[in-house]
Amino acid sequence: MGESWEGKRVLITGTTGMVGSWLAKDLIKRNASVVALVRDIDYQTEFYRSGDYLKANIVNGALEDFSAVQRAINEHEIDTVFHLGAQTIVGAGYREPLQTFESNIRGTYNLLESCRRHSDIVKGIVIASSDKAYGISAKLPYTEDMPLKGNHPYDVSKTCTDLLAQTYFNTYGLPLAIARCGNIYGGGDLNWSRIVPGTIRSLLNNQRPIIRSNGKMVREYIYIKDVTDAYLRLAESADKKGVSGEAFNFSTESRMTVLEILNAVRDAMGKNDLEPVILNQNLKEIPEQSLSAKKAKKVLGWQSKYDMKKGLEETILWYRTYFGGEKNIS
């Protein structure tokens, strides 16, 4: 990455989420002026616990509120937008689809429409989609030219997010790029239903970790710092030919079952005596997913820097610090 972020006016939606927190931290270190759209203040999140919120401008509001989104962009004269805000839990989407659609679909078109109305100042937009946008496919790994066909509420919401972004590029020429990642892990994820933070918390408490599925679902896991690097690269080129209007997969290209990732956490923590509890619940999830990152490597020069061992070491250290009540690592 060669572009300076000093003085850039950056809006991050979903700043209190794991990815948003680490992206804000990175941009603050690069002397960008960070504006955070925050729906709910949660002092347990990395954005607040680290004190990074004191170095950012806070706009209180929800993505579903068009006036709040437009106010954030207009009054703070935003030039770069990272749209990460969404309801991200598959199970929550299954239980409350309306809430997921409102946040993920309405929130996305509110954001894009606000950028369109202020296209004189907004020069780059990164839209966080997901591998879930592809839905179930007989052909793997996913490549960016494959159709998007989510089936269940969360998956459909990400398919819509992706297609809305493409619409605003194809129709209005918004300078945007789309990121599709697999399962993101790292410190700061407080959604304990997810396999990595949930397993770490259980093991730190000397409890048996829980697998809600049958443990056989295949996923790709990518460390948070690889993701923030990918988003910054996208933003730096969002207005350039070959990147603008394009979607990019970001992946380590290493597949693991849920049981394998749980065992990797157990190994890293030396807790192999605690056998998992397998609930074998039907969670309406895609059984197998994997991504090709060839396009990102070729066009953006992006390459994953963290293997599972290194990523888990940093992640486990963050949670040990978190539960130990000490100041978080950065």
Q: For each of the domains in the chain, give its residue range(s) and CATH number, in order of start.
A: 9-185+221-254+290-306 (3.40.50.720)
| 322 assigned to active site | no
CA distance 243 to 37: 26
Of the candidates 240, 224, 254, the one whose C-alpha atom is nearest the C-alpha of residue 299 is 240
* Alpha helices (runs of H) in the chain, residue ranges in sequence order: 18-29, 46-49, 66-75, 90-95, 97-101, 107-117, 153-172, 195-204, 224-237, 258-269, 294-295, 308-324
pLDDT of 131-172, one tens digit each? 999 999 999 999 999 999 999 999 999 999 999 999 999 999
Average pLDDT of every residue of the chain: 94
CA distance 103 to 88: 10
Report if pTM > 0.75.
Answer: yes
- Does residue 35 contact residue 29 with C-beta atoms inside 8 Å? no
Instruction: Count Cα neighbours of 317 within 13 Å in the Cβ-side half-sphere.
Output: 9
pLDDT of 205-230, one tens digit each? 999 999 999 999 999 999 999 999 99
Catalytic residue among 154, 185, 231, 319: 154
Checking if the pLDDT of 310 tops 60, the result is yes
